[in-house]
A and B are shown apart, each in its own frame.
Chain A
Amino acid sequence: MAAEATTPMLTPAIREKILAYIPRYPSKRAVTLPALHIVHEYLRCVPYQAMVEIAELLEITAAEVHDTMSFYGFFPQAPIGDVRVWICRSLSCMITGGDEMLEYACKKLGVRSGQTTPDGKLTVEFAECLGICDYAPAALADDGRIFGPLTPEKVDAMLEELKKGPVDPSHGLNPSSGAAKPSTSEVLNSKPN
């Protein structure tokens, strides 16, 4: 946790992005979550030094940033993989096999839930309800791709797909692409309806 960095960790581009959020809220502190998300997006983690710099930008203390950041289970302090995938373990997913799918994926990758593969490509975590219960048992990648209903074979295919790296964030938004749905999930999805 030593603040060894003499040069700022947050680049001018990140700072600019954070500062652009300030006019949206009556208080600067309200930008804490957006700032954490922006930093996380660039650095794939939120190290202590970044919290200090966010605090400076928002004119609050680093402790306040850390207080907020540590409340949410979302922000790791060490970098995660290129893609982060959550496998759901809440009721609808669990009763259709979610816990087993998580175990299977972890075993396949040789990691425990919450860990990153040694090649740094993939972080696999459990999640409490992802809100995609129509795909139960389901998984969600942090680039927006949805996978489900999972079976061991589909977990294999999913992991292969995810190891290729994140997809372009704008997919599924262009008018020409038709249904507003992530593309890969359509490939991997054999939903009956």
Chain B
Amino acid sequence: MAQFEPVLTRHFAVPDGHLLKTYESKGGYQAARKAITEMDPDKVVQIVKDSELRGRGGAGFPTGLKWSFLPKDRKETFMCVNGDESEPATFNNRQLIELDPHQFIEGMLISCFATKASTAYVYLRFEYIHAFRIMETAIAEAREAGHLGKNIYGSGFDLEIYCHRGAGAYICGEETGLIESLEGKRGWPRIKPPFPAIEGAFRKPTVVNNVETLACVPHIIERGADWFKSIGTPKSYGPKLYCVSGHVNKQVCIELPLGVTTRELIEEHAGGVWKGRKLKATVPGGISMGVMSADEQDVKLDFEDIKKTGCLGLGTAAVTVMDDQTSMVDYLYNTSRFFAHESCGQCTPCREGTTWMYKTFKRIKAGGGRLEDLDVLGQMAENMGLTPGTTICGLADGAAWPIKNVLAKFRPELEEYIRTHQAPRPIVSPLQKAIAAGISADPTNTALQIVPSPQAALRSPHAS
């Protein structure tokens, strides 16, 4: 562990690391040259398969296997890179793009060669404004130097990379939602099968990979599958960028072998819990993955072990730390608010369920909670998402998991909160005011029943 040598982040501290000449001077594009001029695509796929590289975007699907699902007789393939990193607390892809864009482009180059894709779209979320500029510059530089374009390295392989910017929708990080958005439609996830490998972007076979996944590829080609498998824990190999944020002294993104614990992350890399307080809970990998209590901090953050805690999975390995003064009601209020805002509205259980959960937590937080709410919320959480099979994509699972986990791990706290935070209803309609003032008002007059809109309804930029 002590000898772990960072690879993905090795150029992060290098001045001008985002420029091609810096990257080339450090041996950049050698792996791509080796793959394209000396290997055939199937061999590259085989090496990646042997390395057991698993997707870094959240689901952890084996990358090589994904590539091998492409039909053998395909004529055209598209590569879509998922840079719509919208999972709360995750920012590793942003750093990978901003600080070492050519490593990522080299990864794309090799992966497109392996999958015979001659067009790659980098779907970048709009909020990564700086990363977008860096990417545009880096692509132009790489094309100029002959790493992209026609007949790369004289091999007859062509590749064009385009950045496609999102517009602030979390759901476009779901691979088929991303494809729909790329095609110029609303980002509604598609029913699978067919999976993108068979019918994806523009109805052609498509590979969708995460930025970090592709950034691993040049290193696998350069150092071999065995090197990659020497890092990490069984079934979860390789280095991983862990993001730590929230109640810590130092919010960081750090590269470590897969399988560190949150305790190590917090104490050794993030400077400990802030203000000298104690830890209460951590979110292991973006808020969709659920929550871990203070006594589960020695569980390894890899694709397998994490499930023992009842969490959904490793997710994006973005750890949010919460100190002992954080209320779990606030946490659930936040997660439910997020998912209610980001549900795409396609499937009823999710569209209605997430909003309903948000309203419930808003009411509980404001002092109008009822103990039965917890049972109903638990039932809701069990009945929405891919796990019970009621939605097209996994967003609803992500919305349900924090609730399931908190009910299992912190239920007494929620009950205590509901009991001790009972307040009169905060929203009073004009009719109620009239009744209270002793004015005789017509109760059928609907104008009197209009309740002031909650703040959230006023978010539209043109509602003035």
Contacts and interface: CB of A to CB of B under 8 A. Distances in A.
Interface of A: 24-27, 29-34, 36-37, 58, 60, 64, 67-68, 71-78, 80, 86, 89-92, 94-96, 112-116, 123, 125-136, 140, 142-144, 146, 149, 169-170, 172-173, 175, 178-182, 191-193
B423 to A, nearest CB: 19
A68 B250 contact: no
17 contacts: A29-B183, A30-B202, A32-B185, A73-B459, A91-B88, A92-B245, A95-B326, A114-B458, A125-B459, A125-B461, A129-B87, A130-B127, A131-B94, A133-B246, A134-B253, A136-B251, A144-B133
A114 B462 CA distance: 8
A78 B461 contact: yes
A149 B182 CA distance: 33
Given A26-B202, A144-B129, A173-B133, A128 B184 contact: no
Contact of B88 (A27, A67, A133, A142): A133
Contacts of B283: 91
A180 B331 CA distance: 34
For B249, B461, B462, B464, which residue has the most chain A Cβ atoms within 10 angstroms? B461
B342 interface: yes
Contacts of A76: 460-462
Contact of A68 (B186, B342, B458, B460): B186
Contacts of A136: 245-246, 251
Contacts of A178: 15-16
Given A74-B126, A86-B127, A132 B247 contact: no
A78 B464 CA distance: 10
A95 B247 contact: yes
B91 A73 contact: no
Interface string B304-321: 000000000000001010
B252 A134 contact: yes
Interface of B: 15-19, 85-91, 93-94, 98-99, 125-130, 133-134, 137, 160, 162, 164-170, 181-187, 202, 204, 243, 245-247, 249-253, 271, 283, 287, 318, 320, 322, 326, 330-331, 334-335, 337-338, 341-342, 344, 455, 458-464
A77 B322 contact: no
A66 B164 CA distance: 19
For B182, B187, B246, B318, which residue has the most chain A Cβ atoms within 10 angstroms? B246
B127 to A, nearest CB: 5
B178 to A, nearest CB: 12
Contacts of B250: 192-193
Top 7 closest pairs, chain A to chain B, by CB: A32-B184, A71-B186, A72-B167, A144-B129, A74-B167, A133-B245, A90-B88
SS class, residues of chain A in contact with chain B: loop
B127 A37 contact: no
Contacts of B165: 33-34, 37
Given A76-B462, A113-B459, A123-B461, A143 B338 contact: no
A68 to B, nearest CB: 6
Contacts of A112: 455, 458
Nearest to B341: A128
Contacts of B18: 180
Contacts of B287: 90-91
Contacts of B166: 33, 72
A74 B168 contact: yes
Contacts of B202: 25-27, 30
A91 B338 contact: yes
B320 A91 contact: yes
Nearest to A99: B334
B249 A91 contact: no
Contact of A90 (B89, B130, B460): B89
A33 B181 contact: yes
A191 B250 CA distance: 8
B188 to A, nearest CB: 8
A30 B337 CA distance: 31
Given A91-B88, A128-B338, A131-B128, A96 B460 contact: no
A140 B132 CA distance: 14
